[in-house]
Amino acid sequence: MLSIKNVTKRFSGIVAVNDCSFDVEEGTICSLIGPNGAGKSTLFNCVSRVYSIDSGNIFLNNKRIDNLATHKIANLGVGRSFQLTRVLDELSVTENLVLHTASGFNFHLLKRAVTKDDEVKAEQVMEFLGISHLRHSSMKELSYGQKKLLDLGSVLMADPSFILLDEPAAGVNPRLLETILDRISLLKDQGKTILLVEHNMEMVMGISDKVIVMAAGSIIAEGKPSEIQSNKEVLEVYLTG
C-alpha cells in the first residue's frame, strides 16, 4: 500500500533520512523502531509531507504522493497522529474529533461546524475508544492520556485507509496502553493499514506483522518481529545507542 523508494531528507548538513526504501503491505501493522534521532519521525513527516523530501519517491497505492500538498495526502485517506499530542485546546472535544469534516475546499464548508451526523459518528468513535464520558468536558479538564486517545479518535473519524501512529504509547499508563493496543488490533481487523513508530518493544513485537529498524537515518534491518529480536546488528544499535 505504501512504498518508500530511496527517500533522503537533509536538514542543512545533517542527513536525517538516508536513502530509505521499504514497503508496507495493505492490511498489516508495520512498526518502525530505532534509537532516538534515527529519523523515524522525520520519515513520518516526509510521508505526510510536513517535510519535503530531497530525493526519492513515496507512493500510496501506486500513486506518487511526495509531490502533493499535506492536505491532499490527508484527503487520499492517510491519517496520522503526532509524537507530542496535537489536539487543539481552543476547540471543544467534539470539534477536535470532527476536524477532518472541514477538509478540502468546497461548499460543504458552509455547513454547520458540527452537524447531527458528525455528532453521531463522534459518539461512535468515542465509544470505540472508551472516552464517551469526555464528550462535554472542557479540553482543559482532559489528562494527557485522554488527549492521546482524543488525538487517535480524530484520526479515526476521517476513516483513513492508511494510518501513521507516532509513538501512541508514549507517556500513557499501562492500563491505557492496553486500550490503545486493543484498538490498534481492531483497526487492523477492519482492514486498515498501520505504520507505527514506537519505543515500547513489548508492544511492537506483540502487535506487528513487520518491523523495520532505523539507525542514524538508515534502515539497518527489516523482517518479522522474531527475526528482528535475534538480529545482532539491531541488538548492537540498541545497546550502544
**16 vs 18: CA distance, rounded Å:** 6
Rg (CA), the chain: 18
Nearer to another protein, 102 or 235 (CB): 102
31 counts as binding another protein under rule CB under 8 A: no
Cβ 218 vs Cβ 20: under 8 Å: yes
CB of residue 219 to another protein, shortest distance in Å: 24
Starting from the edge strand earliest in sequence, which strands make up the sheet with 63-64, in order?
14-24, 2-11, 55-60, 63-64
Q: Does 75 bind another protein (CB under 8 A)?
A: yes
CA distance 30 to 32: 7
Stretch that binds another protein, among 15-23, 79-87, 176-184, 185-193 (CB under 8 A): 79-87
Q: Other C-beta atoms within 10 Å of 21: how many?
A: 13
Near another protein by CB under 8 A, which window of 14-22, 23-31, 108-116, 225-233?
108-116
Q: Which of 11, 21, 55, 102 binds another protein (CB under 8 A)?
A: 102
Interaction with another protein in 150-209: which residues (CB under 8 A)? 154, 158
* 113 touches another protein by CB under 8 A: yes
Please name which of 188, 30, 133, 202 lies closest in space to residue 149, comparing C-alpha atoms.
133
**Closer residue to another protein (CB): 74 or 228:** 74
- Which residue bears the cell 537515518? 217
Q: Count CB neighbours of 239 within 10 A.
A: 8
Burial class (CB in 10 A: 0-12, 13-18, 19+), 34: buried
User: Is 22 a binder of another protein (CB under 8 A)?
Assistant: no
- Which of residues 42 and 208 has its CB atom nearest to another protein in the complex? 42
Site string for another protein, 115-154 (x = CB under 8 A): ---------------------------------------x
Q: From the list 40, 80, 147, 192, which residue makes contact with another protein (rule: CB under 8 A)?
A: 80
What is the rounded distance in angstroms from the CA atom of residue 45 to the CA atom of residue 197?
Answer: 12
Nearer to another protein (CB atom), residue 34 or residue 79:
79
For residues 34-53, which are near another protein according to CB under 8 A? 48, 50
What distances in angstroms separate CA 199 from CA 9, 60, 166, one per listed residue? 22, 25, 10
Contact residues: another protein, CB under 8 A: 48, 50, 69-71, 74-75, 80, 82, 86, 88-91, 95, 98-105, 108-114, 154, 158
